[in-house]
A and B are shown apart, each in its own frame.
Chain A
Amino acid sequence: MPTIEHNGSSFTVDEDGFLTGNMDAWNETWVDYVKTVEGITEMTDEHHKVIEILRDYYKKNGIAPMVRILSKTTGFPLKRIYELFPSGPGKGACKMAGLPKPTGCV
């Protein structure tokens, strides 16, 4: 597994740049790193809200939320989530939140 160095921290990731460890490997440095690769110019409170809700949901349920649940709990329609995370809720937001890579026929 490759590792990524960013601002003095090191992260183990897979070939798509998702964290492979458990949720503890995540920190603010990781958020800052993903921001640079996911085409996000400035982190806003809305970004942090999405990430926080993803992490809370994952810790509670062991899975990433359905897109409709994410929209409902954040109050952001899917369009807004794409504006915040251009790669979308899976590749963008889940990666930044340190969740496992989405699986299945995607």
Chain B
Amino acid sequence: MGYDPANPMADRITDIGPPHYEQFFPPVVKNNYGKWLYHEILQPGVLMHKAENGDECYTVRIGAARLISIELIREMCDVADIHCDGYLRWTTRNNVEFMVDSKAKVQPLLDDLKSRGNRMPVGGTGASVSNCVHTQGWVHCHTPATDASGVVKAVMDELFDYFTSHKLPAQVRLALACCLNMCGAVHASDIAILGVHRKPPMIDHDAITGLCELPLAISACPLGAVKPATAKNSAGEDVKSVKVNAERCMFCGNCYTMCPAMPLADPDGDGIAILVGGKVSNSRTMPSFSKLVIPFLPNTPPRWPETVAAVKNILETYANDARKYERVGEWAARIGWEKFFEKTGIPFTIKSIDDYRLAYDTWRTTTQFKFTSHIK
């Protein structure tokens, strides 16, 4: 029966969870589950997994925009129907993978993907720049300081060669978050793009009393800059409100998340910060957080040329200088961050010096450093 608004609990199905993943395994994966011997990357975007019994599974990875229409999903389903018996999967970076069980089926699949224009570019394996993990931006969120899809498209257009090739020292993970909620992977990515504000919130004294739970807005502030206060609304009446100490505010926007009457988005103030050097794997070195290297780049839709140039500069400097297997953060740690700034030509600013609570540990407590000369 269809949903009956007058009786919403009738025939209601709930708590059934996602369908079990095994239902959607291609036969070659189901038969060899837990019995894989080794894998090879045959070419950028194409993997081969060998099973104990000699079975082979060929995987073709394509880039996807993450925000996609049902038409595109149906087109991907068509590809899966034609070549893969109707099976496909999405990766944790929102690429799409088509799997076939014999080498003879790989080339027709690649040819088909190529014939579909640039909607399904093959790549993203090995020492490449795979897909950029990103967020909602101006498409759907209410707290962003920049856009997500637009910036990602501009950056990936410029780095497209690195998606379809293996010419980097190691994989480079890109991530974008449109505010410092950092939904996604910004805090632990090789190169991260982060939307930031530069102005304190405006307070709507007319609406704040009815709209906000004031103690939540006050406790949302990491710096104690928000305090309860009595304010005058536009009708001249005293209302319960808050006041923001602008000297203490670092424009994180947490109070706006909790209280809709404290908006802070600003077209000139908002922009992008670049962080580098994070990773999540345990290979060679421990996982690490990304560090801020460029405090602000303006929002310049639709192509964000400053951000694109900054990301490309960091990536290419790293590609030219790092050793094999070295991630961006490992490279920067080996040569020293002062050398990172010198080689990339990024001006070091006071904004990169940590001043939040546990900041002391990030300062240099040694005489070991290299003389660098790039700061004029």
Contacts and interface: CB of A to CB of B under 8 A. Distances in A.
B345 interface: no
Interface string B244-264: 000000000000011110000
Contacts of A21: 210
A61 B9 contact: no
Contacts of A39: 7-9
Given A86-B9, A103-B257, A104-B258, A64 B210 contact: no
Interface string B173-196: 000000001000000000000000
Given A86-B8, A105-B181, A63 B209 contact: no
Given A103-B260, A105-B181, A22 B8 contact: no
Contact of A103 (B209, B216, B240): B216
A51 interface: no
A61 B215 contact: yes
A62 B213 contact: yes
B223 interface: no
A96 interface: no
A63 B215 contact: yes
A71 interface: no
Interface in A8-42: 19-22, 25, 39
A21 to B, nearest CB: 5
B212 A105 contact: no
Contacts of A20: 207, 210-211
Interface of A: 19-22, 25, 39, 58, 61-64, 86, 99-101, 103-105
21 contacts: A19-B210, A20-B211, A22-B209, A22-B210, A25-B210, A39-B8, A61-B215, A62-B213, A62-B214, A62-B240, A64-B213, A100-B211, A100-B212, A100-B213, A103-B213, A103-B257, A103-B260, A104-B216, A104-B258, A105-B181, A105-B257
